[in-house]
Structure formats: C-alpha cells, structure tokens
Amino acid sequence: MNILIVDDKPDNLYLLEVLLKANGHTILSAANGEEALQTLQTEGVDLIVSDILMPVMDGFQLCRRIRADERLRHIPFIVYTATYTGPKDEEFALKIGADSFLLKPCEPDVFMATIDEVMAASRSRDPSRAPAPAPEGEVLKLYSERLVRKLEKKMVDLEAEIQERKRIQEELRQSEEKYRTLVENAEDIVCILQDGQFKFQNQRFEALLGYNPGELINQDFMELICAEDRAMVMERIRRILDGDPRGTPISYRIVHKTGQFIWASSTASRVMWEGRPALLTFIRNITRQKEIEEQFHHAQRLESVGRLAGGVAHDFNNMLGVIIGYAELAKLKIDPQDPLSENLEEILMAARRSIDITRQLLAFARKQATEPKVLDLNRAVEDMLKMLRRLIGEDIDLSWKPGESLGLIRIDPSQVDQILANLCVNARDAISGVGKIVIQTENARFGKDYCMDHPDFIPGEYVLLMVSDTGCGMSRETMARLFEPFFTTKEVGKGTGLGLATVYGIVKQNGGFIHVYSEPGMGTTFRIYLPRHSEAAPLADAEVIGESAMGHGELVLLVEDEPAILNMGKQMLETLGYRVLATADTDEAMTLAERHAGQISLLITDMIMPKMNGHDLAARLCPRYPGLKTLFISGYTTDIIDPAGLCGNGVHFLQKPFSVHQLATSVRKTLENSP
C-alpha cells in the first residue's frame, strides 16, 4: 500500500515510516496538511495517517479538505495524535470524516491492526458512499467547543500548577521562619566561619560585640580575638576541621567594638557551607561569670591571708602581754624617782603601740574582742564628726548627709569609729590640696535576684554608710589588692596597709559587705552595708567598776596553758593582794580545786587549752563549789570562743593581753557582780 504520513515532527515520521515499511508498505510523508494536499495532487495514496497539531494546516482541516474533495474523499484517514483533551476529540475526528482515532504512543500491533480494520471497512464500502464531512456550521461549532475544552483543560492544569507552587513557597517560608526564629533569638552568638572568615552572624553578634550584622562578613575571625588567646583558638579550630569531635567549650577573650574585652566560651562543629567545609560556631558571653569567679578567688585569698595574719598576731599578742605585764610589775616595784622607771615607761609605750597594730590585724582576721551594741549609725557618725574634721584638716570640706528613718545596727561602737577614721584618712590622703569628702547614710535592701549576680551580697535589709571623696581615685591594680593587709601605695612611714584590711575585717565580722567604686582621677566611693538590726535599741550599759581595785587575800585559781602568761598573771594577782593557785594543766586544776574545796573565790581560766577548754572546766567546777566565780581570758573574740553569747550575761571575759589595771578591774567586777 501507498501510505501518506503527515506529521511535523521528523522523529514521529521516522518511527511510523520504519514500522510501516517493515510491514511491506510504501511510504510518503508530509510535514503538515498543506504539504499533504500537494502530495495528493500527484501521488496515488491508499491510506492517510495524520497528526492533529501541525503548523500551516492541522490534521482536522486536512481531513475536512479531503472529505470535501471528490477525487480524494474515498481515501481512508486515521488520526494519530498525542494531544488529547477528552473523549470529545475522538467524536469530533469521526464527525469530520476520520475513519479512526488513535492516541500516541500506540503499540505497533494495535497500530497495524487498526490499519487493517480501516482498510477492510473501506474496501467493503461503496466508494460513492465514502464518509462525508460534517456541514460547515457544525464543524465550526465543534471546533470552538474543542478549543474551549482545550483551554479549560489548560486552565485547570495551570491552576493546579499555581497551587502547587504556592504550597511549596509557603512551606519554604515557614521553614525559613522557624530557622530564623531559632538562630536570631538564641542567647548565644551563632556564626559560620570559613577560611577563617565570617560568612554568617546572627543578631546577637551586634548585641554582644557591638558590630552591625554583616559588618564583619568576610573579615578574619582571629582579628577579634585577644592576641594571647589566638594560638589556643587556632589550634582548636584546626582540630575540629580535621574531624576531631566537638570536645569541651573553650574560653577566650574577644574584643568588643569599643575595644573592651569580653570573655567568651565557645563550641564549634564542622559543617558544609555553600558546598565547602566551614565551622558552625556558638559563642556565649561569660564575662560576668569570670568576674564572679575572680571575686570569689579574691575573697578566698583574703580569707587565707586573714587566717595567717590572725594566727601570727595572736601569738604576738600573747608575747606583748608578757612584755607589758612584766614591765608594769617592775614599775610597781621600783621607786618612781628611779631613772629606770622612765625606761620602763618607754617599754610600755612601745608595747602598747604594738598592741594597736596587732589589734588591727586581729580585727582583719575577725578575732578581736568586741562588744557589739545596738546603735543608731547617724548618732555614731555625728559623735565622730568633730574628730574627723580635725583628722582631715581645713582644706578639705567634709559634708554629712544623714539618711532619714535610718534603721538600727548592732556593732561595737569603736568599730564604727575605726571604719570612719580609716576611710576618712584614706580620702584625705587621696586629695591633694582642696577637695571634698561626703559621708552619707541610708537604708538599703537586696533581693535574692540581685544577690545571685553579686556573690558578695546576701539578701536582706541593710544600713548603708557611704564615704566618697574627690581624690585621685584608683587604678584597677590597686582596686584588686585594696583590702590585703600591708598593701599600700603610700611612701614608707606614711602607710601601713592595714587600714582597709581592718575595715574589711570589721565589716565581715558584722555580717556586712563593702562595695568600692573608683576610677583614676575620678575620686572614690566606699559603700559599707551593715545588716539592719530588728530589735529596738536597749539603753546603753552603765559602766560599773568596783570601788577598790585591790584584792583582800581571796584565793584565785589561775589556769593558763601559756607558761609566760601564767607566771605573769600569778605575779599580777599577788601584787594586787590575792592568793593564787596557778597551773597550766586542767587536770591539775581539778585536783587543786578539790584540795582547796570551798576556799577558792575565783576561777580565772584561759578559754582554749589543749586537754579541756575553759568552758568545760568551769562547767565541771562551778556546780561542785557553789560561790565559785569565773573569769574567762582569751586572745580570741567572744564570738569565736563563745558562740552561745554567754559572756556579758553574768559571765565575765577579759581579752588578752591585759594590763594590771584591766585585770584588777575585771577580777573585782567578777567577784562583786556575779550571781
């Protein structure tokens, strides 16, 4: 058979040609309807197989033209198409005179069977009754219907595509928003480093380091790191890029845009960024933690120095007691006109000055004997003002701003004096020429939250004593060592370095804390917070001292493990007119008490002794010998050796070292006032 294939696609033409040739047919081809009509003018054709969509003239038109042409209308016509808008297409093709409608791609068997069917139908058909095309009007209607169908289908497809795109876009936006929320709201800096440079930074970067977002993109990360820490950071980066597991965070200093250091703790992990290895880095600001750590270490250092200083001062104090005691005894025994008397007086004066220094050390170490009283800080300051004015001289203006409705505090009044004197003298020394010192008081309170951030602070109600000056201020280095005993920036002979150590000790002993603010050239402010006392202030104790300081032959049991003090105490007491049983051993003390049962009027005992402490000794002897009175002596403060606070409630206490006069007074007081 001679078969004419009409298709604008060469590939389609070729495939059909191969198939039909293989089945023994001769093939003619045309690229569109127009070409096909031309071919039909000259060639005899037995069958036409035509595509629908073609340029110049489509398959439907070609079919209509053939069916309208007397000479051609008998040729069977198969529509073979890939464009299918629905079953109406086939209906339409048949209406305009096609013999069959096939959809591409079609199995060769089916295709060949269709050709056979069409040919058989055509042969059995009366050639004069070849299929006639539908009338023009109907065709146009069918055409436009088909077009509308096609368009409608396109529209539906387009709409579906739009919806699908929208869905994806949305989804994309949602997931991007989620990631943005995570990254941009993180407390830590999140950044990407590649080839040592920033490729991405979240907003925290600006808040923590002062650089605008994007300002550092493509800048070297290392330039932001404190020079001393660079090697360590580089090493860690190298290890992570080499595939080492993440490991523990590292701490290093980053330079803020203003030039200040920020302590950072960071972790990093290897990621791919735009196709190449990079570091995903998290950076946390730990500056505050570092400060708190530093403060803690500072406090620890002071504690240990305090313990050391206190221990030394305690032993030294005992020796001073011995020196003073013997010098006093010697003085009592020689004629006041004797030239040696003056020498002894010099020894006594030097020893007393040394006691002041050891007192300061003991105060720093919180071992000084104190007599806390409930008092009004405003009154205590006012009582001192005259003295302070004299202390600071006329060039410096001292102004006093008492706080209103100020709470009460419980402290040894002499300690307030010591604090004020030390702070004012320091302020005076810091002012060259004319300047101003302000003393101010007010109530203060700290909540839990505040104290969490300030490890030195304890929540509660406080009374604030503030001393500020317009002096030279302090460097960071000085601030760091301010409270250390013996730390001074003053010339030899001018400063002892014990002033602030003492203030620190006093404040700590009273449960308070100190805050210092100072900058070089900008003056200094000391804030001292002392716990507010809740009870009403009792009336000040009346000083009761016995008329006669001398003894009348009363028998005294003296127990003291330090032999030098024991001997001295014995001599002092005998000089004062007492009879003395002296021992360094508590067991022997018990034996002595038994042997002199009922004769002993007074037990004088050291508090801290190796075998048994003074308390326990007294607790054993007193119930056994009614009328026996007790005087405790110790180099420690009452709050260390007497946490129960028995001293002052009928229990008598004498701080070592003591003078003959102090001993005389304490002994009389104990004998006459004990219950």
Chain residues that interact with ligand ADP, rule: CB under 6 A: 422, 426-427, 430, 469, 471-474, 478, 482, 487-490, 495-497, 499-501, 524
- b/e string for 644-665 if b means 16 or more Cβ within 10 A? eebbeeebbbbbbbbbbeebbb
For the bound state, the minimum distance from the C-beta of residue 465 to ligand ADP, rounded and expressed in Å, comes to 14
Residues in the chain: 675
| Of the residues 321, 499, 614, 657, which one makes contact with Mg ion according to CB under 5 A | 499
For the bound state, the minimum distance from the C-beta of residue 361 to ligand ADP, rounded and expressed in Å, comes to 12
- Between 495 and 546, name the residue whose CB sits nearer to Mg ion: 495
Separation between Cα atoms, residue 367 and residue 359, nearest integer Å: 9
Question: What residue 327 binds from ligand ADP, Mg ion, none (CB within 5 to 8 A, per partner kind)?
Answer: none
- Between 351 and 474, name the residue whose CB sits nearer to ligand ADP: 474
CB burial of residue 370 (10 Å; 0-12, 13-18, 19+): buried
Question: What residue 567 binds from Mg ion, ligand ADP, none (CB within 5 to 8 A, per partner kind)?
Answer: none
- Between 499 and 635, name the residue whose CB sits nearer to ligand ADP: 499
For the bound state, the minimum distance from the C-beta of residue 516 to ligand ADP, rounded and expressed in Å, comes to 8
- Between 487 and 513, name the residue whose CB sits nearer to ligand ADP: 487
- Nearest position to ligand ADP, beta carbon: 499
Separation between Cα atoms, residue 455 and residue 446, nearest integer Å: 12
Question: What tokens appear for 181 in the block?
Answer: 């929320």
In order of 560, 565, 655, the CA distances from 635 in angstroms are 12, 12, 6
Q: Are 605 and 634 spatial neighbours (Cβ–Cβ below 8 Å)?
A: no
- Between 499 and 569, name the residue whose CB sits nearer to Mg ion: 499
Which range in 176-184, 311-319, 494-502, 564-572 contacts Mg ion by CB under 5 A?
494-502
101-160: contacts with Mg ion (CB under 5 A): none
- Between 469 and 562, name the residue whose CB sits nearer to ligand ADP: 469
For the bound state, the minimum distance from the C-beta of residue 351 to Mg ion, rounded and expressed in Å, comes to 23
Q: Which of 599, 661, 671, 597 is nearest to 631 (CA)?
A: 671
Which range in 184-192, 461-469, 497-505, 564-572 contacts Mg ion by CB under 5 A?
497-505
Separation between Cα atoms, residue 502 and residue 379, nearest integer Å: 22
Separation between Cα atoms, residue 88 and residue 642, nearest integer Å: 112
Question: What residue 403 binds from ligand ADP, Mg ion, none (CB within 5 to 8 A, per partner kind)?
Answer: none
Helical (H) or strand (E) element with 423? helix 413-430
Binding track over 422-461 against Mg ion, x by CB under 5 A: ----x-----------------------------------
For the bound state, the minimum distance from the C-beta of residue 381 to Mg ion, rounded and expressed in Å, comes to 19
Peptide bond before 657: cis, by omega within 30 degrees of 0?
yes
Other beta carbons within 10 Å of 619 = 12
Between β-strands 373-376 and 276-285, what pairing exists: parallel, antiparallel or unpaired?
unpaired
Which range in 303-311, 326-334, 338-346, 493-501 contacts Mg ion by CB under 5 A?
493-501
471 binds Mg ion (CB under 5 A): no
Q: Name the residue type at position 537.
A: A
Separation between Cα atoms, residue 515 and residue 503, nearest integer Å: 12
- Between 471 and 531, name the residue whose CB sits nearer to Mg ion: 471
- Between 473 and 499, name the residue whose CB sits nearer to Mg ion: 499
The shares of helix, strand and coil residues in the chain, as percent rounded to the nearest 5, are 45, 20, 30
- Between 122 and 426, name the residue whose CB sits nearer to Mg ion: 426
- Sign (positive/negative) of CA torsion 2, 6, 11, 16? negative
For the bound state, the minimum distance from the C-beta of residue 421 to ligand ADP, rounded and expressed in Å, comes to 10
Which range in 147-155, 230-238, 421-429, 659-667 contacts Mg ion by CB under 5 A?
421-429
Question: What tokens appear for 449 in the block?
Answer: 């939250």
Binding site for Mg ion (CB under 5 A): 426, 499
